[in-house]
């Protein structure tokens, strides 16, 4: 086995083989001498692994790689890396930060907001009954959309919705100023942020604070009949509470793009729940080339003794 410094692509849930050519290309351009391997070609204990690029790697694997200098999530969220209780201290964890992915997210959320704003949800319910009834139409400025999370994704989404004329509100942990968006911060402002919204979008990372955030109490704070678009993470939603809110009409409808267990099993009741649209974690992805460029670039930095550009705050959880 070669002892060349190695970047290991690893997932327990997905086949990452298709990513390899992009990583090899990026390594040739940005980090000559860096070898790219696909788990389990390189086993635990291999000292040549300097970077792990992962999506749900086996728990304990990072701790078993003694030469590890970087742990990179191949997605925008890093919760699947940070869930490992044995993560070696002092090894930086990065995530994907990509403007093109944020623009893709803005497209998806704009579509979902328009779906409710223009009454396409109602039209879809009418169709099986052969009902020809135009939903009421109103200007976008009369529809209030709230975005939870104003990071790379949420800020772009908020700007896009504001640009399309919606009344946009944004909520985050710390305060942010975004032109055309009324912003709110922290748990103390959550209730006031939620109350007037017609549509609420989650673009929060999964952390110990956001896990289970959308529970019965949260749904009760929404304006009756509001719609919910979840593009954050499935674990942020207490599903029985969401279903109960839908059943009662407290929640008018939901687009769910992310789930605690993905793929959602074919027999799952969510597939057949009225007024609920299931989408297969498709809101926005990063291209293999952009992903590889960023992760190999950060690998080159750590090998040169520099901090990676896209590090997450391990203590904060995002």
The catalytic site residues sit at 233, 281
CA distances from 91 to 4, 28, 70, 144, 239 (A): 20, 24, 6, 42, 35
The per-residue DSSP string of 166-193 comes to -EEEEEESS---BTTEEEEESGGGHHHH
CB-based closest residue to ligand NDP: 151
Could you tell me if 182 and 161 are in contact, meaning their C-beta atoms sit under 8 angstroms apart?
no
Residues 6 or more apart whose CB falls under 8 angstroms from that of 43 comprise none
Give kind and range of the element (H or E) at residue 94. strand 93-94
Q: What residues form DSSP beta bridges with 6?
A: 35, 49
Select from 264, 182, 186, 196 the least CA-distant residue to 230: 264
Least separation in angstroms between residue 62's CB and ligand NDP is 19
Longest alpha-carbon distance in the chain: 69
Select from 315, 289, 308 the least CA-distant residue to 25: 289
Between 36 and 156, name the residue whose CB sits nearer to ligand NDP.
156
Least separation in angstroms between residue 153's CB and ligand NDP is 3
Residues that bind ligand NDP (CB under 6 A): 76-77, 105, 149-154, 172-174, 203-207, 209-210, 231-233, 257-258, 281, 283-284, 318
Between 46 and 206, name the residue whose CB sits nearer to ligand NDP.
206
User: Following CA atoms 296, 302, 305, 310 in sequence, which dihedral angle do they give, to the nearest 10 degrees?
Assistant: 100
Token pair, residue 310, equals 């896209």
Least separation in angstroms between residue 283's CB and ligand NDP is 4
Between 40 and 280, name the residue whose CB sits nearer to ligand NDP.
280
| CA distance from start to end of the chain | 36
Least separation in angstroms between residue 77's CB and ligand NDP is 3
CA atoms within 13 A on the CB side of 6: 24
Between 46 and 204, name the residue whose CB sits nearer to ligand NDP.
204
Could you tell me if 92 and 307 are in contact, meaning their C-beta atoms sit under 8 angstroms apart?
yes
Least separation in angstroms between residue 295's CB and ligand NDP is 15
Between 6 and 172, name the residue whose CB sits nearer to ligand NDP.
172
Token pair, residue 211, equals 């896990």
Between 34 and 79, name the residue whose CB sits nearer to ligand NDP.
79
Least separation in angstroms between residue 100's CB and ligand NDP is 11
């Amino acid at each position: 086995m070669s002892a060349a410094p190695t970047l290991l692509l690893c997932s327990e849930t997905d086949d990452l083989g298709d990513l390899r050519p992009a990583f090899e290309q990026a390594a040739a351009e940005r980090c000559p001498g860096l070898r790219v391997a696909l788990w389990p070609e390189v086993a635990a204990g291999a000292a040549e692994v300097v970077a792990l690029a992962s999506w749900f790697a086996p728990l304990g694997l990072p701790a078993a790689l003694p030469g590890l200098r970087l742990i990179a999530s191949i997605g925008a969220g890093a919760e699947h890396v940070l869930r490992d209780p044995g993560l070696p201290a002092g090894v930086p964890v990065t995530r994907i930060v990509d403007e093109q992915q944020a623009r893709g997210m803005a497209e998806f959320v704009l579509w979902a907001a328009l779906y409710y704003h223009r009454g396409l949800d109602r039209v879809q319910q009418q169709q099986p009954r052969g009902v020809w009834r135009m939903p009421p139409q109103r200007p976008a400025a009369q529809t209030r959309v709230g975005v939870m999370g104003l990071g790379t994704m949420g800020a772009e989404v908020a700007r896009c919705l504001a640009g399309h004329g919606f009344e946009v509100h944004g909520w985050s942990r710390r305060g942010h100023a975004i032109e055309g968006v009324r912003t709110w911060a922290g748990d103390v402002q959550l209730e006031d942020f939620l109350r007037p919204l017609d549509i609420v979008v989650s673009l929060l990372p999964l952390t110990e604070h956001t896990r289970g955030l959308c529970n019965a109490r949260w749904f009760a704070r929404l304006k009756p009949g509001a719609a919910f678009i979840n593009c954050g993470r499935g674990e942020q939603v207490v599903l029985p509470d969401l279903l109960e809110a839908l059943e009662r009409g407290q929640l008018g409808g939901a687009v769910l793009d992310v789930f605690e267990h993905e793929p959602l099993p074919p027999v799952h009741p969510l597939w057949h729940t009225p007024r609920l649209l299931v989408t297969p974690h498709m809101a926005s992805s990063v291209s293999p080339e952009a992903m590889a460029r960023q992760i190999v670039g950060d690998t080159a930095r750590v090998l040169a003794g520099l901090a990676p550009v896209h590090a997450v705050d391990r203590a904060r959880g995002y």
